[in-house]
Structures are given as C-alpha cells and as structure tokens.
Chains A and B, each alone.
Chain A
C-alpha cells in the first residue's frame, strides 16, 4: 500500500503552505544574491520556505527556497505531522526502507510533465535558466544546490542519484567537484576516465521531496528503489532525450549531457555545508550539456549552504546517523540510538549505548570511522542510555561532566578526510586527510557503585509516583501545558 507522500514539487509546495511552512513572495527578487540572501536568512532562522513567484530577468520561472531545511518540513515530506519528533521521523524512515526493494516504473514521455518543453543541441543555453548567485564571492552561478545527478555504472548498470554541486561556467558547460570516494566518483574515475569515455549524466532540479531525500541517503539500496520504498509504490521515471538514463517524470527541470574525461576546468569557491568557503578555486570535473527539458512555468529549487541549518546538514545528518545505527546494530553493539547533530554540519556523531563492557566506546568509534561513510565525520561522542541523544542540552551536559580530558579523549591521526574540512591544514585538505576524535562519555565500569556519581534530573531523582503526580498536576500549579 502506498504511503502518504507528495508526488511532485508542486504538491509539496501546497503541503508546505497548508502546514504554515511557506511564504509566497510575489514581488520581484533578483537571482543575483537577493534570492540567496533570503534563503540563507530563512535557514539561519529555521523559517518557512520562500516561494518566489517573480525572478528578475526570468519571466515564467519560479523558485522554491529551503525546501527541506527543518525537521518539520522533513516530517511533512514523509507524510507525517510537522511536529513529529526526530526519533519518530527516524523510526518511520527506517521502517519504510527496511523491507524488500521496490523497483521504479518507466512511464511514457507523453505522461511525463518534465518533457513539456524540450531544448536540444545548439539551442541549449544554461543562461536561460535562473541559476542563482547564491553567495557573494562564489565562483559562479550554481544551478544545482538542491538537486540530484543521475548516473549509471557502465558495467553493472547500477544507478546512482547523488547531490554533486554544479556551477554554470558558460552556455553549455558546468563544473563541479566529484570526489573519488563518492559513488559517482568511483564510476567516473575507475571506469570512464581509464577508457577515455564520457559518462552520461542527468541533473534533476525540482524533484519530489522523497527523491531528494533518497539522493542524500548513503544507503546501499539504489536510490530509485529507495525512493519507491519511501513512497510505498514505484516512483515514476522517464527516459532522457539524449541518453538511456531514467529521471523522475514529475521533476521541474532536467539537464542532460556528459561528464568529460581528461579535462578539468576551474570551479569554486562556494559557500559549503560546513559554513565556510573552505576549498579554493581549483580544477574540477566538467559537465557538457546536450539537452534541457522542463515543465511549463518551471519551479527552481534552491538550497543555501552556510552556517546551520540547510538541507545538506539536516538530511545528511539524519540519514548518515540512521545508516550508522544500522551498522552498529548489525554488529550486535547494544546501542540505544545514533544521532548526528545538524548543528555540527554532520561532523559529530552522538551514539547512545548501554555500557555493557569495557572498551565499548572505542569499538563504536572504530566501526564508525572505519565505515564507508567515515571520511564525512570526524567526532564520535558515546553517551550512556540515561542521556537523550536528541536533546542537545543533555548531550552537552554528559560531555562536560563525564568525559575526562586526560582519559576519555582518544585521537586518531592521519585518517581519511575531505578537502572541505575547515580545521584541517591546507596540506591535509589538499590530499583528503584528517584527524578524528572519540569523546568517551561513559563512566568507567571499574568504578564501584558507591563511587559513581548519581545523575540528578527530574527523570532520575524522584520516585515514579512523584513524577506522575507532578506531570498530572502541572497545569493546576499554574504552568502552561
């Protein structure tokens, strides 16, 4: 049975509006910094998504900003009430993606809204799309900030949907980083580059929200199947005009072309998910564009990376954390949950565990850092099962009171890192190397019960019946409910 979900960007916009999570901006806004500045402020305020109806120089185009930058919008995208807790959102997401994969379905181009307008060959011009200048000082206009790039492994046929930023260079050229440990990077550098063979790609802008969530997810399940599992029924895909790749039929804009081997061009800088422009202008991967298709009155989608919280931070934290939870549970570690704080730009993983044996925190850290996703995060904090991992106040309290700086901080040097890590040295960034750290916030098991400090909180320092009476009488005391 299908789950409750939004079939396209337009249904989702109506859903955001109905939930009070949308502001429709009727007045003209400039694609050159003004739109970006509005979206940035919205991200920093955790505000409603701006729906831009009039874009300077681009009559007929609209744009949606910050589509999924809060947990309330994420809950809505999954068909849940906006006030659903993060833990419950995670449970629903995990349940829906735990069963058998569901294959997508290919539909005819006649029933695919993304084919309403088709531009091919010499007529293709990326400047016909309102790519925003997102931040002052960026290396160019970034069409692709909330999007997905579709590619396929040439030998196995495995499909990949991923978010790889793309800067408009000229009319038919985009440039962006494709890191070698990413899924698309492995395909491109291991297969296409040695064969000097261009790699077909399709950039999808303004897809339905579940496809976007899937493109951010590090699951081993192919994203087209993963999306279908989240939907509870097959996602509808349609074949591209110039290659055999399949793209979501209800998306707003599709950019088709080839990733070129043997050539790089200068890209960046760009305000990145860490909240800094860390990586400099450098030679990056080149995308040559052959076709653009789009819906009538297309709606761009714009995210704005910077200080928290944007889509990348929120969704990567969410899905990376849940994948780490699956990994740790698969190894039989008695964890109570995993949460990556979006405010840490998915660098800090908080793991709750029952401290069942000595060294459990080190075991957790080594599994997390040694996983495929290890390069993306640098800090693991292990807390016990009395700490609510979703409650920042409790996590900071546990860290500040249980982690002995001389005994419980363990540093792993010269590990895999990324070029985007602000605290790494320029040389470490260049070669993708970085240090990692474990904060062990578990009281040692060899302390006697008599010597172990007792947590003093409402939940631990009062008998159950007193807690229940206080909660029951709370409004009668005169407090708000």
Chain B
C-alpha cells in the first residue's frame, strides 16, 4: 500500500468522493523522493478501506485533518506543455 497526502483547497466535506477527479498528490514513501508531487486522476473516499492506497488529507494552509482517507490513482497527468518538457 502506497501512502499519499493531498491539500484540500476547501472543506473536506465539499470534496467529491468516488468520482474520477484530478488533484495533486504527494508520495510519502520514505527516501530521497519523499514528497514528490504529481497531478493525477484519482478516486478517493473518506472510507479508509474503500480504495487500495492511503490518502492523508491536509487543509490549504497545511493543517492535518487527522483521519486517513483511501485513494485509487488512475494515472498521472503531465501539466507541462510538450514543447517545454
């Protein structure tokens, strides 16, 4: 199980659950790449057991929400235009 976190830009209760959405996640795997960010298409749920990986929510100024959610990462999305990669 991979652990990620994300920053909710609004209240957690307003976050869409079980829908395919695009958010920024950070990989919390220990080591040199910890906190690597990625735009990704995901499904997420406040039910910690619904999806295969764990998601730790934070608010927009970094406050930890506390209880983990679960997440399915469908694919990463590269936001950099092709010409400038």
A contact residues vs B (CB 8 Å cutoff):
32, 57-58, 127-128, 133, 135-141, 168-171, 173, 198, 258, 260, 262-263, 265-266, 269, 277-278, 280-281, 286, 288
Contacts and interface: CB of A to CB of B under 8 A. Distances in A.
B66 to A, nearest CB: 13
Contact of A281 (B9, B35, B64, B79): B9
A173 B80 contact: yes
Contacts of A170: 36-38
A277 B24 contact: no
A280 B59 CA distance: 9
A265 B50 CA distance: 29
B84 A281 contact: no
A168 B33 CA distance: 10
Given A198-B84, A280-B9, A281-B9, A269 B60 contact: yes
Contacts of B84: 198, 258, 260, 288
A140 B35 contact: yes
Majority secondary structure, B binding face:
loop
Interface in B17-41: 24, 26, 31-39
Given A140-B37, A169-B37, A263-B79, 20 more contacts: A32-B34, A57-B31, A58-B32, A127-B33, A127-B36, A137-B61, A139-B62, A140-B35, A168-B35, A168-B37, A170-B38, A262-B81, A265-B79, A269-B60, A269-B61, A269-B62, A280-B60, A281-B9, A281-B61, A288-B85
B81 A263 contact: yes
5 contacts: A140-B26, A266-B24, A278-B61, A281-B60, A286-B80
Nearest to A136: B62
A71 to B, nearest CB: 31
A258 B26 CA distance: 24
Contacts of B81: 260, 262-263
Contacts of B31: 57
B7 A281 contact: yes
Contacts of A286: 80
Of the listed residues A173, A262, A278, the one surrounded by the most CB atoms of chain B closer than 10 A to its CB is A173
B13 interface: no
Contacts of A269: 7, 60-62
Contacts of B63: 137
Pick the 9 closest A-B CB pairs, nearest first. Answer: A137-B62, A280-B60, A281-B7, A169-B37, A269-B62, A269-B61, A277-B61, A281-B60, A127-B32
Nearest to B83: A198
B43 to A, nearest CB: 20
Contact of B80 (A32, A140, A141, A260): A260
A232 to B, nearest CB: 41
Given A263-B79, A269-B61, A141 B32 contact: no
A139 B36 contact: no
Contacts of A265: 24, 39, 79
Nearest to A126: B36
A141 B32 CA distance: 11
Contacts of A277: 61-62
Interface in B57-75: 58, 60-64
Nearest to A286: B80
Contacts of A138: 62
A20 to B, nearest CB: 35
